[in-house]
Amino acid sequence: LTRIAFLLVLAACADYAIFDPRQPIDVTPINAWTDGELQELAAATQCWNLAVGIDFRFTTSPSDAQRVVASFNDLECLGTDLGQYTAGFDGNISLCPDFTFEEERFLVMTHELGHASGIRVEGTRSDSIMGQKPSHGALFGEPLFSSEDLALFAAAQPSFTPMPACKPDFFRSDTGSYECRCD
Ligand SMILES: [Zn+2]
C-alpha cells in the first residue's frame, strides 16, 4: 500500500511539471558548450518566444523559479532520438553531441524546448518542429513552426492565450549561427 501511495504521489507531481507560460522559464546550458552551441540554444529560446509569446530566458545564472537545464550527453546518441526532454521540478534537456548535418542540432534544441513549453506529444508533419523537421531540415526564409506546432502548443497550454510577435522565419545570422526573424 505504501508503494502504491508513493507511485500516486509521483504521478501527481508529473502534472505540476508543466510550466506556467505566463512566468519566465530560465534555460541554462550546463557542462561544456561551444560558443556556436550557446548561440543556437539562445536562438531556439527566442524562436519560441516570438512564435507563442512565452518567456524563455536563456541565462547561465538562473534566477527564476521555473528552470530548464540543457546538456550534451553521449549516451543520448544510443537511442533513435537525438534529444530528450524530461519533466521535473527542473526540466532537463539531454542532447546527443553527434549530428548528421549542421542545422540539425539547432532544430533538435528547438524541438526539445517545445516539450519544455508544455507539449508532451510528438507532431506528425514533415514541416513541424515537433514532427519530422529536425531530421528533414528547415529552409532559410521559411516559417520555422508549422500550424501543427502552434496547435500542439495551444492544446498543451489551454488556459494560456498565445501571443505571437509574428510567424518567425528561419535564417542564418551574421555570425553564422541560426536565428528567427519577424518580417
Ligand atoms: Zn519529441
CA of 3 to the centre of ligand 1 (A): 30
Q: What's the gap in Å between 37 CA and the centre of ligand 1?
A: 19
**pLDDT band at residue 9 using 50, 70 and 90 as cut-offs:** low
Q: How far is the CA of 115 from the centre of ligand 1 (A)?
A: 7
* Residue 29 pLDDT: 98
Query: For residue 25, what is its C-alpha cell?
Result: 522559464
By C-alpha distance, which of 93, 118, 109, 112 is closest to 16? 118
Angstrom distance (rounded) from CA 105 to CA 15? 29
* 168 in Cβ contact with 47 (< 8 Å): yes
pLDDT at 79: 80
| 9 CA from centroid of ligand 1 (Å) | 25
pLDDT tens per residue, range 99-149: 888 899 999 999 999 999 999 999 999 999 999 999 999 999 999 999 999
- Distance of CA 82 from the midpoint of ligand 1 (Å): 9
Distance from the CA of 166 to the center of ligand 1, in angstroms?
Answer: 24
Predicted TM-score (pTM) of this structure: 0.90
Cα 2 from Cα 177, distance rounded (Å): 52
Q: Kindly state the DSSP code that residue 165 receives in the 8-state scheme.
A: S
Question: What is the identity of the amino acid at 142?
Answer: E
Cell of 14: 508529473
Q: 75 in helix, strand or coil?
A: helix
167: which strand partners?
A: none
Ligand 1 mean position to 84 CA, how many Å?
A: 7
**pLDDT, tens digit (0-9, with 9 covering 90-100), for 20-73:** 999 999 999 998 899 999 999 999 999 999 999 999 999 999 999 999 999 999
Cell triple for 65: 523559479
Question: Residue 49: which H helix or E strand, with range?
Answer: helix 35-52
Distance in angstroms (rounded) separating the CA atoms of residues 78 and 82: 9
Separation of CA 161 and ligand 1 centre (Å): 23
Average pLDDT over residues 6-11: 53
